[in-house]
Amino acid sequence: MLLFRQTSARQINISLALLRVILGLTFVIHGGQKLFVMGFTGVSGMFGHIGIPMPGLLGPFVALVEFFGGIAIVLGLLTRLAALGLAGDMLVAILTVHLKAGFFNPNGFEFPLALFAIAVSLAVTGAGALSVDALIGKRIPERPDTSIGRGLDQQRKAA
Report pLDDT digits (tens) over 11-38: 999 999 999 999 999 999 999 999 999 9
> In this structure, which amino acid lies at residue 154?
Q
Span 63-118, pLDDT tens digits: 999 999 999 999 999 999 999 999 999 999 999 999 999 999 999 999 999 999 99
How many CB atoms are located within 10 Å of the residue 155 CB?
Answer: 9
> In this structure, which amino acid lies at residue 152?
L
Calculate the dihedral angle through the C-alpha atoms of 111, 76, 66, 119, rounding to the nearest 10 degrees.
30
How many CB atoms are located within 10 Å of the residue 130 CB?
Answer: 17
Judge residue 147's burial from the number of C-beta atoms within 10 Å of its C-beta, 0-12 exposed, 13-18 middle, 19 or more buried: exposed
Cα gap 54→46, rounded to integer Å? 12
Q: Supply the pTM of this predicted model.
A: 0.85
Residue 106 preceded by cis peptide, ω within 30: yes
What stretches of 3-141 show up as alpha helix (H) in DSSP?
A: 9-32, 39-49, 55-75, 79-93, 110-125, 132-139
